[in-house]
Structure 1
Amino acid sequence: MPELQTYKGYYLWHYVPSKAAAVIFLLLFLAATAYHSWKIWKLKTYLCICFAIGGFCILTIPVEFVGYCARASAYDKTGRMMPFCIQNVFILLGPALFAASIYMVLGRIIVGVKGERFSLIPVRLLTKLFVTGDILSFLIQGGAAGMMISSDLASMGNKLVIFGLIVQVVFLGFFIVAMVIFQVRMHRNPTPEAFSEDLQWKSHLKTLYLVSLLIMIRFLFRVAEYIMGNDGYLLQQEWPTYIFDATLMCMVMVIFGVRFPSDVHAYSRHERVKMNEMGGRV
């Protein structure tokens, strides 16, 4: 049984990470990412590319898968910096790419049902605003995760990670509010396109609500984890990470895979082509 090792006299880990758990989730994320990538290629729903990349990032390689590969390799290498660094960065940042994809889907839904006037934020700015916030938090957390490796900068890195996570919580919360307002306004004054059977926009909104809730829980868990600090229960134990991060993000990928927004992409593209043709005739 491996024992905890130190790195330059400093414990990187508070426990020996479970190889079995890491392998199980890296395989789950690999399978989910492969499925999403196949559907993106087959249905040409390129707006979901960030979602597939996010799947690779949560464990320790392209964003979700690589994070857990590194975590599995750290089982008997708890005194080595590289596995710890990779899993820490990739698992922390993966969900930001999930959030970026759901932001883009809402914009397509609003355009598809021609509900631009019901949007809390102008549609031309909607996706840009939320994705920009996501990128900002991504960069903050990415830089902070690197700082936490140094014992001298660990405290500053921890504070920056908390700030980056709070930025994500604020933007995701605002996004949920924007969804609710749009749906309420559409329900009161539905557009003709809202009754089209080609776009199951209400079903997709329900999916976005569920996925957003799971991601929000994960963000709040991470905020609590870093606020409690290295001596806190959440960082001292391994099981919370798998319950409130790995499991929730795996559920997000499965839900999005079952309710893949291919019709949102196809319908909005069809509407743009039709509008261009009408403009040409005019």
Structure 2
Amino acid sequence: MDTTTSSNVEGYSKFLGYAPSVPLAVVGLLLYIVAGAGLIFMTCKHGGRWMLAMPIAVCCYAVGIALRFAVRASPANLMIYVFCNFFTSLSPCGMIAAEYVLLGRLSQYLRSDDFLFISSRNITRVFVTSDVLTFLVQAGGGGIMVMESMRKIGEKLFLVGLILQLISFAIFTIMFLRMLLLIRSRRTAVWGQDRREDRMNDWRVLAAGMTISCIGVLVRSFYRVAEISGGYDSQLSHTEGYFWALDALPLFIAVVVYIPLWPGRFITDSPGFKGVEMKPGADSQQSILYTR
């Protein structure tokens, strides 16, 4: 469909390059509301308030989807588009921050700091700090982009933020997977400590869920980098299907996986629970588990 024909479509937004689909927005909004409610419920039931950044981010992303209705109703309103783009573009930073915190907690629980590039205490500081910085860079770029005369500069700044975020999360994912592989090969007792438990109480299931979540975030990150690299006038940017398939869907999978696998069920908040500790002189194959 050419630009002239597209612009005659009801609700067509020149900022998005298409008229937002109402059915897709309804489905997307409902799914994210359910996901956000589910994560909040699991937080209240099982603890793990250190993961609160995720349900908050999910709710903010839902706001971004809801604003697509407003964009369609007032397609010429720049500020509505800006807020819509702000929520859908920057909310994932909160989801990513939660992943960073989770790895630190999981590493402490398994006493596997020696398998990380940096200690678990510093993971949150280093990666969350990088997440905040990339958030600020993206927010700054997004703010500049609304000025027509500085749009290109804003795009480049926004792209820099996305690339830095992608690099940071890719390094994080590699470190996480490396930790799992080393635990499996060098600390078999820790790897299989929950083998007699119900599968949904096995920490390895949580690790599998986190792996799926990381893949979802990476898919979305690569998409956003490719989208902005091509410019806001590119086919990738002006095709709504790509947004739902490569942004909203991967992120939904990344967060919804934690509803049945809420980290608070596996990693207790109780100060009396210290997780796995290696027995003195037992090398890396033996471990004991402290309980409440």
TM range (shorter): 0.7 to 0.9
Contact 2:109 2:275 in 1 (8 A): no
What's 2:104 paired with? 107
1:78 is aligned to 2:75:
yes
Match in the other structure for 1:279: none
1:254 aligns with 2:253: no
Offset from partner CA, 1:4-23 (integer Å, 9 cap, x none): 46xxxxx3231111122112
- Structure 1 residue runs of 5 or longer lacking an equivalent are 6-10, 57-62, 276-282
The match for 1:229 is 231
Instruction: Specify which of 30, 43, 47 is matched with residue 27 of structure 1.
Output: 30
Question: Retained in 2: the 8 A contact 1:148–1:154?
Answer: yes
Q: Which has the higher helix share?
A: 1
Q: Distance in 2 between matches of 1:252 and 1:228?
A: 25
Structure with more relative contact order (C-alpha pairs < 8 Å, separation 6 or more): 2
* Percent of residue pairs identical: 24
Matched-pair contact (CA < 8 Å) for 1:148–1:155: yes
Q: Residues 121 and 154 from structure 1, CA distance in 2 versus in 1: closer, same or farther, beyond 3 angstroms? A: same
Hey, what's the Cα distance between the residues in 2 that align with 1:170 and 1:84? 28
Q: Tell me, in whole angstroms, the C-alpha distance in 1 between the residues paired with 2:130 and 2:173.
A: 14
Work out whether 1:17 is the aligned partner of 2:20. yes
Q: Distance in 2 between matches of 1:150 and 1:159?
A: 14
Q: Secondary structure of 1:234's partner?
A: coil
Unaligned runs of 5+ in 2: 1-8, 278-292
Corresponding residue for 2:43?
40
SS at match of 1:166: helix
Please, which of 125, 129, 134 is the counterpart of residue 131 of structure 2? Answer: 134
CA RMSD of aligned residues (A): 2.2
Mapped partners of 1:136, 1:85: distance in 2: 20
SS at structure 2 position matched to 1:242: helix
Q: 1:168 aligns with which of 150, 165, 168?
A: 165
Superposition pairs for residues 170-185 of structure 1, below 5 Å?
170-185=167-182
- Relative distance call for 1:273 and 1:17 in structure 2 (3 A) is closer
Q: Distance in 2 between matches of 1:230 and 1:119?
A: 38
Q: Deviations over 1:91-134 (max 9, x none)?
A: 00121111111111111111111112222211221121111111
Residue in structure 1 matching 2:66, options 53, 61, 69: 69
1:50 Cα shift? 0.4
Residue 200 (structure 1) aligned with residue 202 (structure 2): yes
| Number of residue pairs the alignment of both structures matches | 264
8 Å Cα contact 1:141-1:165 kept in structure 2: yes
SS at match of 1:235: coil
TM normalised by structure 1 equals 0.87
Deviation of the 1:139 alpha carbon: 1.1
